[in-house]
Amino acid sequence: MGTPAMTVKAVPREITMQAPVARCADQGSISRLASIAAGEPFETDTHDAIGTEDAVLEVRDFKLWYGEKQALFDIAMNIPRGRVTALIGPSGCGKSTLLRSVNRMNDLIDSVRIDGQMLLSGESVYGPEVDVIELRKRMGMVFQKSNPFPMSIFENVVYPLRIDGIRDRSVLEEVCERSLRGSALWEEVKDRLKDSALGLSGGQQQRLCIARAIAAEPEVLLMDEPCSALDPMATGRIEDLIHELRGAYTVLMVTHNMQQASRTSDYTAFMYLGRLIEYGATEDIFLNPHLRETADYITGRFG
């Protein structure tokens, strides 16, 4: 899995496994976890590094309920523009829920209720006058399991444009090529654009979904465990890809893979039981976490 990504942003695994415990001065872990579980309010430890960045997405006191059950508690975080931000945390802590709240996919679930605010480039996401459809067009989303549409590769990629009513063949072809090149799939499929997308391999399908997500040049790219169903080779390619998208796109990515988070992201947010626990530069979170819970989670001591 030797990838160029590692040379840019790599944090060697050995360090992440040992260093935090040694350097973490914080000792109040057990009582704090218990108090979080008991539902007491918790102040996120947000590193100063976040404040130096230009935020494309601001989340303010965001709460979310599935029916009676609260899944997100007072989330406050700024997602820096043009950077890759990773969301980590144990299963069921609300990472997907938070990600899906950004492009309001949770609207599709009847029982969901929200409170708080989100701002995308300064404009409200949940305001009463917001057109959800237009809002979603400003973001791309990649799901855990690839979900190509039952149509040709070409039509899959240009789907976001098609639903905007764009018919101009030359525009569509140009976007198709650019997006497929962007997702590193062009060379493999350029001769079979008319074939069904369902005939591609799993890794190719996932890269196709990424191509589709970036076709409309979104402001934010949301990825929910994009590599969890892929083999190491395909994972490597997609990690490379995320790295290349960096700068041009803002990426918010959920992952369970600590190495992946450390290799590909600039910033990392650690969530636990619906709270944002600690949020800072990836290097700091992995090498120098402020909180003991973060260190424990990263070294695999719980979660």
Partner 1 sequence: MVWLTGGALVLSVLMVAGLLLLVVTEGVSTFWPGPLVEVTLDDGRVLLGEVNRVEEDPGSTARITTRTMLRTGNFDVSGTHFTWFDDAAVTRTEEPEWAVLFERNSWGRFYGIPQELLIDGEVVADTPAAVWRRFLQLHGPCRDRLVERRSLERDEMGRLNARREEARLRVRAALLDHPEGSLPVLQARENQQKIDDAADEEFEGIAARIEQLDTENRRYAIRVLTADGSGKVMALDEIVRAFPANRQGTGGKLTIYLSRAFEFIFDEPREANSEGGVFPAIVGTLVMTLIMCMLVVPFGILAALYLREYARAGWAVSAVRIAINNLAGVPSIVFGVFGLGFFCYILGAWIDGGPTSPASAGSWFVYLGLLLALLGAAVFATWHRTRLPPARRSEQNFLLWVVPALWSGVALLFVTVVWFSPWFNGFYRAELPNPTFGKGGLLWASFTLALLTLPVVIVATEEALAAVPGSMREGSYACGASKFQTIWRIVLPRAMPGIMTGIILAMARGAGEVAPLMLVGAVKLAPELPVSAVDWSGSVGPLPTLFVHSERSFMHLGFHIFDLGFQSQNSEAAKPMVFTTTLLLISIVVILNVFSIWIRGRLRKKFVASGGF
Ligand X SMILES: Nc1ncnc2c1ncn2[C@@H]1O[C@H](COP(=O)(O)OP(=O)(O)OP(=O)(O)O)[C@@H](O)[C@H]1O
Instruction: From 38-46, 86-94, 118-126, 210-218, give the range in contact with ligand X by CB under 6 A.
Output: 86-94
Q: How many residues does the chain have?
A: 303
Rounded-to-integer distance, Cα 109 and Cα 271, Å:
22
Rounded-to-integer distance, Cα 79 and Cα 195, Å:
38
Residue 95 binding ligand X, by CB under 6 A: yes
Residue 212 binding partner 1, by CB under 8 A: yes
With CB under 6 A as the rule, give the number of residues binding ligand X. Answer: 10
Residue 96 binding Mg ion, by CB under 5 A: yes
Contacts by residues 178-185 (CB-CB < 8 Å, ≥ 24 positions apart): 179/211, 179/212, 179/214, 179/215, 180/208, 180/211, 182/210, 182/211, 182/214, 182/241, 182/244, 182/245, 183/207, 183/208, 183/210, 183/211, 183/214, 183/241, 184/237, 184/240, 184/241, 184/244, 185/211
Question: Cβ-count burial of 110 within 10 angstroms (0-12 exposed, 13-18 middle, 19+ buried)?
Answer: exposed
Residue 101 binding Mg ion, by CB under 5 A: no
Residue 255 binding ligand X, by CB under 6 A: no
Q: Which of 94, 140, 236, 289 binds ligand X (CB under 6 A)?
A: 94
Residue 97 binding ligand X, by CB under 6 A: yes
Residue 51 binding ligand X, by CB under 6 A: no
Q: Which of residues 71-110 bind partner 1 (CB under 8 A)?
A: 103, 105, 107-108, 110
Residue 143 binding partner 1, by CB under 8 A: yes
Residue 66 binding ligand X, by CB under 6 A: yes
Instruction: From 85-93, 184-192, 211-219, 258-266, give the range in contact with ligand X by CB under 6 A.
Output: 85-93
Q: Which of 24, 71, 120, 176 binds ligand X (CB under 6 A)?
A: 71
Q: Residue 257: what are its φ and ψ, rounded to 5°?
A: -100, 110
Q: Which of 51, 67, 202, 247 binds partner 1 (CB under 8 A)?
A: 202
In terms of CB distance, is 105 or 215 closer to ligand X? 105
Residue 292 binding partner 1, by CB under 8 A: no
Instruction: From 17-25, 143-151, 176-184, 265-273, give the range in contact with partner 1 by CB under 8 A.
Output: 143-151
> Which among 273, 274, 278 is positioned nearest to 293, based on CA atoms?
278
In terms of CB distance, is 207 or 243 closer to partner 1? 207
Residue 65 binding ligand X, by CB under 6 A: no
Residue 96 binding ligand X, by CB under 6 A: yes
Pairing of strands 69-80, 250-254: unpaired
With CB under 8 A as the rule, give the number of residues binding partner 1. Answer: 41
Rounded-to-integer distance, Cα 125 and Cα 198, Å:
34
Residue 60 binding partner 1, by CB under 8 A: no
Q: Which of 137, 178, 192, 256 binds partner 1 (CB under 8 A)?
A: 137
Cα 126 to Cα 101, 107, 218, 255, 285: the distances in Å are: 9, 10, 18, 26, 30
* Residue 22 one-letter amino acid: A
Residue 205 binding partner 1, by CB under 8 A: yes
